[in-house]
Amino acid sequence: MTVSDRTYFTLRRLHSLSGVVPVGVFLLEHFFTNSFAVQGPDAFNRAAEHLAEIPYVVLIEVFGIGLPILFHMVLGLVIVTTGQANAAKYRYQNNWMYLLQRVSGLFLVAYILYHVWTTRLSPEVMRGETDLFGMMSDDLRSPGLFAFYVLGVIAASYHFGNGLFGFAIHWGLATGRRAQRNVARLGLAVFLVLSLVGINSLLAFVHRPVRLFERAPETKVVEHPPLPAPAPPGGTR
């Protein structure tokens, strides 16, 4: 497929933009919602339901999240093919970041397809029969899947955090060398914080969250109907 030079520029700018708005913003929201898991299944499922009650939710999901992610993915795949990574030869920090941006992006394609299918598009979920917390909890108790999810969280956090660095330069927000370095640091900070928050949510699904200042959730489990949980979230505690 060939496009005119002008369209190409616009597509690339939209690619860069879509990574931050709406995809990046959604990522932040998603990690925030997931963090309710730290407060227990109840809190999490409540938060999920709240989201489901947002007006025009399907339209938002399709046009505000799904299609932008798909667009970002497809163009990203095209972009990846134009590069020839050489970090083994030129061992500079930014060059590693360049390589990781592409690796994380590629991984995220697989991860997101899986994640969206299992948690949103699979027939069971679509029928509204699934206890999300329970399902996640089950999945994550498999060490393989847990690792897969941890990698997904790290990859998404990195791709977004480091993406901010590229975004700032592409759009001309950070022009000076020091400014660019600072944006890179900010991006890495975002990466670290999001990774920790994301991993903590994953731990929460298997009932091992790290709690900092939160009020501990009431210990009574699943009073809230209707939860035809296939397996009760039996903890080791």
Interface with other proteins by CB under 8 A: which residues?
5-6, 8-10, 12-13, 16, 79, 81-86, 89-90, 92, 94-95, 97-99, 101, 165-166, 168-177, 179-180
Closest CB 164 distance from other proteins, rounded Å: 11
User: With respect to other proteins, which residue has the nearer C-beta, 86 or 122?
Assistant: 86
Is 108 within 8 Å of 155 (Cβ atoms)?
Answer: yes
Closest CB 27 distance from other proteins, rounded Å: 20
User: With respect to other proteins, which residue has the nearer C-beta, 33 or 94?
Assistant: 94
User: With respect to other proteins, which residue has the nearer C-beta, 84 or 236?
Assistant: 84
| C-alpha closest to that of 42 among 231, 218, 235 | 218
Closest CB 131 distance from other proteins, rounded Å: 43
Is 132 within 8 Å of 44 (Cβ atoms)?
Answer: yes
- Provide CB contacts within 8 A for 54, sequence distance 6+: 60
What whole-number distance in Å separates Cα of residue 49 and Cα of residue 170?
Answer: 38
Is 163 within 8 Å of 20 (Cβ atoms)?
Answer: yes
Closest CB 1 distance from other proteins, rounded Å: 12
Closest CB 125 distance from other proteins, rounded Å: 37
What whole-number distance in Å separates Cα of residue 169 and Cα of residue 179?
Answer: 10
Is 146 within 8 Å of 154 (Cβ atoms)?
Answer: no
Count other Cβ atoms within 10 Å, centred on residue 229. Answer: 17
User: With respect to other proteins, which residue has the nearer C-beta, 21 or 179?
Assistant: 179
Closest CB 91 distance from other proteins, rounded Å: 10
User: With respect to other proteins, which residue has the nearer C-beta, 109 or 199?
Assistant: 109
Count other Cβ atoms within 10 Å, centred on residue 163. Answer: 23
Is 98 within 8 Å of 163 (Cβ atoms)?
Answer: no
What whole-number distance in Å separates Cα of residue 173 and Cα of residue 166?
Answer: 10
User: With respect to other proteins, which residue has the nearer C-beta, 81 or 219?
Assistant: 81
